[in-house]
Amino acid sequence: MAAPDLRGEAPRLTAAAFDALYQHLASGASWAAGARGALAALTPDRVTAAAQEVRTGRTVTLAAPVETSTGPDSPEPALHTMRAWSEQSDDQGLHFARDSFAMNVHGDTDSHLDALCHVIYRGTLHGGVDASSVTGDGATALTVGALADGIAGRGVLLDIPRLRGVPWLEPGDHVSADDLDAAEKSQDTRVGEGDLLFVRVGHRKRRTEAGPWNTAEARAGLHPNALEFLAERKVAVLGGDGNNDTAPSPVDGVDFPVHVLAMHAMGVHLLDYLQFEDLVPVCAAEGRWSFFCVVAPLRLPAATGSPVNPIAIV
């Protein structure tokens, strides 16, 4: 039997209401003001406990293939250039095939991690760090370099289309705090302190089956009130198969409210444009929606983000 439609009407937020929500979340996240932000909740004891999630040893990627074709959601696809290849070899000696990549890390197709220096809001970064720390030469604070040792912890996948009995959420739809709570109950799981929370809206499945579209104008994502759920549970990382933010924005004057609340107010690193289509059937077959997860950004000391391939170990 399909779950009832829980969407309702997602409320728009005035600038004043958003500011009140921002202040509420920021005041409760003072413990996460350091260079690693909310990753402070991911203690060695919690990593050790998370390792107990491994039962079968099966590994599953949460990343999509890097996009190299131009499309409505990829006007700047990654550029893959071959520097040397087999046809250049004119003898039977030793040769090396070589190539190079260039990409817009924060595009709307490739799986990537947002460092805390990615969001500048009202002249500052997370924790009040001055925005002047981000220059034309790169960033000097809250960069991907702070994650050189990677992220490892307990991952939890909440599948909102599964909850609603649909293949995906349509562009413009919102995931609320009530949705996240209902998905927990439906999947018989619970998000805990220091967890890596992954929220599926079905973006990748829709893109595969219906074709790409201009996601800058319309996409499913979290409603700002969903961040209260994250704050209550002290989530360390938020990952989605879309941008995490809904478009159009439900907030007057703020285009990416989830990015502002999660990263700037709460210090929660974001993982954008992941894919969960490989993980969902594994979790369903196992009858559990939690797993050990490892995220290893590239060591880019002055960067605001990094392409990434998170691995779930079930």
Residue 141 makes CB contacts below 8 A (sequence gap 6+) with: 35, 117, 125, 129, 133
Would you tell me how many other CB atoms lie within 10 Å of the CB of residue 299? 13
What DSSP string runs through 31-54? GG-STTGGGGGS-HHHHHHHGGG-
Q: What is the mean pLDDT of residues 262-276?
A: 98
Q: What is the mean pLDDT of residues 74-94?
A: 88
Report the share of the chain in percent with pLDDT over 70: 96
Lowest mean pLDDT among 93-97, 173-177, 241-245, 296-300: 93-97
- Per-residue pLDDT of 187-223, as tens digits, reads 999 999 999 999 999 999 999 999 999 999 999 999 9
Report the share of the chain in percent with pLDDT over 90: 92
What DSSP string runs through 225-290? GGHHHHHHHT-SEEEESS-SB-BS-SBTT-S-HHHIIIIIIT--EEEES---TTHHHHHHHHT--E
Give 307's strand partners.
Answer: 112
Q: What is the mean pLDDT of residues 219-248?
A: 98
Residue 208 makes CB contacts below 8 A (sequence gap 6+) with: 277
Bond preceding residue 11 cis, omega within 30 of 0:
no
- Per-residue pLDDT of 110-149, as tens digits, reads 999 999 999 999 999 999 999 999 999 999 999 999 999 9
Q: Do the beta carbons of residue 68 and residue 102 sit within 8 Å?
A: no
Task: State the Cα–Cα distance between residues 49 and 46, nearest whole angstrom.
Answer: 5
User: So what's the pLDDT on residue 86?
Assistant: 86
Euclidean distance between the first and final Cα of the chain, in Å?
28
Q: What is the mean pLDDT of residues 67-81?
A: 96
List phi, psi (to 5°) of 304. -95, -5
Task: State the Cα–Cα distance between residues 154 and 194, nearest whole angstrom.
Answer: 8
- Per-residue pLDDT of 1-32, as tens digits, reads 233 333 345 689 999 999 999 999 999 999 99
List phi, psi (to 5°) of 291. -165, 165
User: So what's the pLDDT on residue 89?
Assistant: 67
Summarize the chain as % helix, strand, coil (round to 5). 30, 20, 45
User: So what's the pLDDT on residue 87?
Assistant: 82
- H-type alpha helices, 81-202: 160-164, 177-187
pLDDT of residue 64 exceeding 70: yes
For 191, the token pair is 């998000």
Look at residues 46, 11, 18, 27 and name the one whose alpha carbon lies nearest to residue 266: 27
User: So what's the pLDDT on residue 286?
Assistant: 97
User: So what's the pLDDT on residue 33?
Assistant: 87
